[in-house]
Amino acid sequence: MLMTQSRDTLNRIVVLNPKGGCGKSTIATNIAAYYASRGGTPAIMDFDPQGSTLAWLERRPTDLPFIHGIAAFKKSMQATRSWQLRVPNDTANLIVDSPAGLHHDDLREITRDATSILVPVLPSPMDIHAAARCIADLLLVAKVDRRDRKLAVIANRTRKNTKSFAKLMRFLDSLGIPIIAVLRDSQNFVYAAEKGLGILEMQRSRVRPDVEQFNKVMQWLDEWPERRRNSNNEAGMRRSPFAKIAFLHKPHTGTT
């Protein structure tokens, strides 16, 4: 069973899709690099036994802004699970990288207290099918409420004007879940992963289109306090007995 500490002010971003190779670690590491570049110490929690996110951290040049790593995939007999998963008190942004083939129990635990859940999707028929299942599990098993606006999709490694790309966009549209960014298939992501960098830490002229796209991910993530406030307000309205009265006494605006 997975466990983590919860803190009301902690921005807990979960990158998740049980389908392997869709870009979870690539997106998680880039988000961490963005937060690190703004100051403060973000933390990255790696639930994947492959440990690819922590390996990326080890490759990270020491002169770049520090990112705290948490090896959630390691189970120690010497320490309690919550001690192992503790997040430094001065960490405001926590990015959780999840493994391929996540089970239902773990899905619930890993998404609990998430402020944002990002699902990267590749535009192939098999990946689209797997993403549909993943999103259904998030809604039905992990009980993520779409009205909380925590859930978003990133279309990854796309080549525009392909049939599967158009199919992916139609599919996501039909679910009413926002596609917050479309990342192109680019060697810049591969290079950054190899060197322990985020794309924004590479030569700007080389990565401009990728950074422009990735900024959209960050923009959506940054809106989490507003999203949470709005969804709390809406939930309050839905529960309020006045909501019904207001509905019954809705003023007539028609001209006929």
Ligand X SMILES: Nc1ncnc2c1ncn2[C@@H]1O[C@H](COP(=O)(O)OP(=O)(O)OP(=O)(O)O)[C@@H](O)[C@H]1O
Interface residues with ligand X (CB under 6 A) are 20-26, 48, 52, 100, 156-157, 183, 185-186, 189-190, 193
Between 41 and 50, CB nearer to Mg ion: 50
Residue nearest to Mg ion (CB): 25
What residues are paired with 152 via a beta bridge? 118
- How many angstroms separate the CA atoms of 13 and 11, rounded? 6
Between 24 and 149, CB nearer to ligand X: 24
Q: What is the separation of C-alpha 98 from the centre of its chain, rounded to a whole number of angstroms?
A: 10
- The single-letter code of the amino acid at 208 is R
Between 34 and 149, CB nearer to ligand X: 34
Of the candidates 71, 17, 67, 79, which has an alpha carbon nearest to the alpha carbon of residue 49?
71
* Strands 11-15, 93-97: pairing kind: parallel
Between 21 and 65, CB nearer to Mg ion: 21
- The single-letter code of the amino acid at 106 is D
Q: How many CB atoms lie within 10 A of CB 108?
A: 17
Between 69 and 149, CB nearer to Mg ion: 69
| Positions in the binding site for Mg ion (CB under 5 A) | 24-25, 52
DSSP 101: S
Selection from ligand X, Mg ion, none that 212 binds (CB < 5 to 8 A by kind) is none
Helices (H) and strands (E) in the chain, counts: 10, 7
Rg from Cα positions in the chain: 20
CB of 218 to ligand X, least distance (A): 16
CB of 232 to ligand X, least distance (A): 32
Selection from ligand X, Mg ion, none that 213 binds (CB < 5 to 8 A by kind) is none
Q: 118 phi and psi, to 5 degrees? A: -110, 130
CB of 201 to ligand X, least distance (A): 16
CB of 120 to Mg ion, least distance (A): 10
CB of 42 to ligand X, least distance (A): 18
Between 121 and 144, CB nearer to ligand X: 121
Selection from Mg ion, ligand X, none that 23 binds (CB < 5 to 8 A by kind) is ligand X
Selection from Mg ion, ligand X, none that 11 binds (CB < 5 to 8 A by kind) is none
Q: What is the total residue count of the chain?
A: 256
CB of 153 to Mg ion, least distance (A): 17
- How many angstroms separate the CA atoms of 196 and 173, rounded? 34
Selection from ligand X, Mg ion, none that 106 binds (CB < 5 to 8 A by kind) is none
- Which CA distances in Å does 254 have to 111, 214, 251? 45, 45, 9
CB of 48 to Mg ion, least distance (A): 5
- How many angstroms separate the CA atoms of 66 and 133, rounded? 36
Between 128 and 149, CB nearer to ligand X: 128
